[in-house]
Chains A and B, each alone.
Chain A
Amino acid sequence: MLVSVLNGFAIGFLLFILAVGLSIVFGMMDVLNLAHGALFLGGAYLGATFAGSWGGFLAALGLAAVGGLAAGALLSLMTEPLRRRSHLDQALLTLGVAFVVAELLIIAFGDDPLSVSAPPALDGSVSVLGATYPAYRLVLIGVGAVLALAVYLVVERTRVGALVRATVADREMVATLGIDNRLVKAAVFAVGSLLAATAGVLGGPIYGARPGLDATVLILALVVVVIGGLGSVRGALVGALVIGQVDTLGRVLLPELASFVLFAALALVLVLRPRGLFGSPASVSTR
């Protein structure tokens, strides 16, 4: 039981890091980035290539951060010509990009699932209140909590964060204040992609790296975003922790029905709160 709860937290914080960028870009610009999962998978393959030593693990993290930033900026640039078209066109563009990236990863790394080893000294188990638990996951919970806190504080407590929240709430009004919201979008896109690729490296020792993982994590992230409410950092955090617990508990208690449990949670939230737990009516323009 304790192990399952801890697993839930580890997955939950990982999901938050993954989903928060998706949520803000979507809430802010109505761009649903379906390439988000591919960025995660790219990070996971970086981890599979370099991890094994501390130097390699940190190098993978650094490369994922730089690559994620560049990829996010590029994606933002690519959606720019479509800004006057429907939201669906932009989503389809990122879907095409996701295809290309996933296939390039298969060409580069092959079809076989790769396992990613945790950095040395963290690949063992530790004893937590009498239960043995992988040390890496415990550290992941800590790192995830710190990252989540950092993102939360930046968005909720700084000037830059205020700008981001203002753009989510009313982008025309922000534009009239003389701020180019294309730059805000590009920055958020880049940072969100950085977080996704970093989450891929961090999640490597848990999920490994394999073709198809991109779709799996994309869907988990979408469920988190829908449950939490679009454009809300707090919603993404709560949604991620809830889904982390629901998913791991479901796998322990009802292994046959684990995927149904996830869908049931999503359906329940959408029936009771169609805009998500923390979604504001203003941020939902598609209804």
Chain B
Amino acid sequence: MTAVDAPAVPGGTAAVSPRVPRGRDGLVAAAVLVVLAAAPLFLAPFATTTLARILVFALFAVSLDLLVGVTGLPSLGHAAYFGSGAYAAGWVSINVTAEAPVPLLVGAAVGAVAAALTGWITVRTGGVFFLMLTLAIGETVQQVANTWESVTGGANGLTGVPAVRAGGAPLANAGFVYWYVLAVFVLGFVLVWLVARSPFGAALRGIRDNEPRMRAIGYPTALYKYGVFVIAGGVAGVAGSLLVAQQRLVTPADLGFLTASLALLAVIIGGAGSLWGACLGAALVILIRDALGPGLGGHGTLLLGIVFVLVVYLLPRGAAGLRLRRRSPS
């Protein structure tokens, strides 16, 4: 029990809880939403697609932030639930129907069920142990995706996923796909934000800061951690269904170690515990990987690794920490 007093998360206790957006924050949120909604009208199709990728990855990072930043459970296997949701949504789109809410709900359900099946063992641990266990689970799930060829398509991935259909018509245009992704992203973000600021979320932050004390007060901390693990898995599954709606393809790499660690990087860059920070981090990660990566001969990962090292040294509280420091020089 000696390490409990040290925050398990970079920034730990200092990370702000998501606040009610009022005044300036509410205006900023509304302005960002308007700009995002109008983006396809003035952006080139490629830029629109990149923005959609960012939103998909941002929702995934936000679901991870619920674990890492809010609850203090650093997961390196969260891509398992993201990928499970993507595979499930893709499979349903191919074999049953691609009509709008169906792949989404299936993705969410499968992500949550996968998290429920594996979570009972991970939440028994904490800190670096949790990191190791989730890593092992992520790798196991990736191997399943690689070997279960009849369902997942094996190493080639699940190809030929039809476009998502809304009201009977397929969303063929990059702009419509983008708006679908944006709408679901907003829903998912609001859901996670509501969870984080509910009494349940407050208890989760209590567990992050001092789990023995929360247990002593009478909170069933293991149950709370299990609950948030399943919720985060479900939201990651939703993000996975967006991934397949956007790129119409799922490969084992989407639930692998690299995807999981990039999401963790996004959360850390943004500042663990700050949901909007995770979105900024996701934007940076996707821009480096997809926009700068080809210019670097496909070695965007190298740059991301360097960014990772620099962020750990220079920004212990992430981008959100920068803002905190400027406001209250304590």
Q: How far is the CB of B117 from chain A (nearest CB, A)?
A: 11
- Please tell me which one of the listed residues A86, A100, A226, A260 contacts residue B132 in the complex, with CB atoms under 8 A apart: A226
Q: Is A166 an interface residue (CB 8 A)?
A: no
- Kindly state whether residue A267 has any CB partner on chain B within 8 Å: yes
**Chain B contact patch, size range:** 35 or more
At the interface, yes or no: A285 with Cβ under 8 Å from chain B? yes
B304 contacts which chain A residues (CB < 8 A)? 99
Is B157 an interface position by the 8 A CB rule? no
Give the contacting residue for B121; candidates A87, A89, A262, A271; CB below 8 A: A271
Chain A 250-264 against B: per-residue CB contact (8 Å), 1 yes, 0 no? Answer: 000000101110110
Q: Is the CB of B312 within 8 A of A30?
A: no
B320 contacts partner chain A, Cβ-Cβ < 8 Å: no
| C-alpha gap A102/B302 in the complex (Å) | 8
User: Which one of B9, B261, B313, B316 lies within 8 Å of A99 (CB-CB)?
Assistant: B261
Question: Which residue of chain A has its CB nearest to the CB of B3?
Answer: A285
Q: Which residue of B lies closest to A31 (CB)?
A: B128
Among residues 119 to 178 in chain B, which have CB atoms less than 8 Å away from a CB atom of chain A?
Answer: 121, 124-129, 131-133, 135-137, 139-140, 143-144, 147-148
Cα–Cα, bound, A102→B257 (Å): 13
Segment among A123-131, A190-198, A216-224 that sits at the interface with chain B: A216-224
Task: Answer whether residue B305 sits at the interface, using C-beta atoms and an 8 A cutoff.
Answer: yes
CB of A88 within 8 A of CB of B140, answer no
- Taking the closest CB of chain A, its distance from the CB of B80, in whole angstroms, is 11
B132 touches A270 (CB 8 A): no
| A113 adjacent to chain B (CB < 8 Å) | no
Partner of A96, one of B9, B133, B135, B312: B312
A87-B3, A96-B305, A104-B302 in contact; A223/B127 too (CB < 8 A)?
no
What is the distance, in angstroms, from A89's C-beta to the closest C-beta of chain B? Answer: 5
When each residue 103-137 of chain A gets 1 if its CB lies under 8 Å from chain B and 0 otherwise, what string results? 11011000000000000000000000000000000
Q: Which residues of A contact B125 (CB under 8 A)?
A: 270, 274, 286-287
Which residue of chain A lies nearest to B144 when distances are taken between CB atoms in the complex?
A259
Centre residue among A226, A258, A267 by max chain B CB count within 10 A: A267
- The answer on a CB contact under 8 Å between B6 and A99 is no
Contact A89 B137, CB 8 Å, known A96-B309, A100-B305: no
Would B135 and A86 count as touching, CB distance under 8 A? Answer: no
State how many angstroms separate the Cβ of B184 from the closest Cβ of chain A.
Answer: 29
Q: A89-B316, A222-B135, A287-B126 are in contact. Are A97 and B10 (CB under 8 A)?
A: no
A287 contacts which of B129, B131, B264, B312 (Cβ < 8 Å)? B129
Q: Does A95 contact B (CB under 8 A)?
A: yes
The docked-state distance in angstroms from the alpha carbon of A88 to that of B268 is 11
- Given known A-B contacts A81-B313, A87-B3, A106 and B128 have beta carbons under 8 A apart: no
Beta-carbon contact of B126 and A286 below 8 Å: yes
Q: Is the Cβ of A222 less than 8 Å from the Cβ of B132?
A: yes
- Of the candidates A86, A95, A100, A216, which one forms a contact with B7 in the assembled complex, judged by CB atoms under 8 Å apart? A86
Task: State A284–B1 Cα separation when bound (angstroms).
Answer: 8
Of residues 92 through 136 on chain B, the ones whose CB sits less than 8 Å from some CB of chain A are: 121, 124-129, 131-133, 135-136
Most B Cβ at <10 Å: residue of A86, A100, A263: A86
Cβ contacts under 8 Å, A218 to chain B: 135
Any B CB within 8 A of the CB of A85 = yes
Contact between chains at A99 and B302 (CB < 8 Å): yes
Count: A-B pairs, CB below 8 Å:
138
Q: In the complex, A273 Cα to B75 Cα: how many Å?
A: 22
Q: Is A93 an interface residue (CB 8 A)?
A: yes
Q: Decide yes or no: A103 and B136 within 8 Å by CB, A87-B128, A286-B127 being known contacts.
A: no
B301 contacts chain A at the CB level, 8 A cutoff = yes
Judge whether A184 is part of the interface by a CB distance below 8 angstroms: no
Q: Binary interface profile of B, 1-16, with partner A (CB < 8 Å = 1, else 0)? A: 1110011111010000
Decide if B308 is an interface residue (CB 8 Å cutoff). yes
**Binary CB contact string for chain A from 224 to 245 against chain B (1 if under 8 A, 0 otherwise):** 0110000000000000000000
Contact B306 A30 (CB under 8 A): no
Contacts of B215 in A (CB 8 A): none
Q: How far is the CB of A237 from chain B (nearest CB, A)?
A: 19
> Could you say which of A99, A107, A284 contacts B305, with CB atoms under 8 Å apart?
A99
**A30 contacts which chain B residues (CB < 8 A)?**
3, 128
Contact of A256 among B1, B147, B299 (CB under 8 A): B147
Which residues of the partner chain A approach B188 to less than 8 Å between Cβ atoms?
A: none
A238 to B10, CA, bound (A): 34
Residues of chain B contacted by A96 (CB below 8 angstroms): 265, 305-309, 311-312
Residues of B within 8 A of A270 (CB): 121, 124-125, 133
Would you give the shortest CB distance from B251 to chain A, in whole angstroms? 13
Closest Cβ neighbor of B10 among chain A residues: A89
For the complex, give the distance between the alpha carbons of A226 and B12 in Å: 25
A positions within 8 Å CB-CB of B: 26, 30, 32, 81-82, 85-89, 91-93, 95-100, 102-104, 106-107, 215-216, 218-219, 222-223, 225-226, 256, 258-260, 262-263, 266-267, 270-271, 274, 284-287
B-side interface residues toward A, CB under 8 Å? 1-3, 6-10, 12, 74, 76, 121, 124-129, 131-133, 135-137, 139-140, 143-144, 147-148, 256-257, 261, 264-265, 268, 297, 299, 301-302, 304-309, 311-313, 316
Beyond A99-B301, A259-B143, A274-B124, 5 additional contacts (C-beta under 8 Å) are A30-B128, A92-B308, A98-B305, A219-B136, A286-B126
In the A-B complex, the 3 residue pairs with the smallest Cβ-Cβ separation, listed nearest first, are: A99-B305, A96-B308, A286-B127
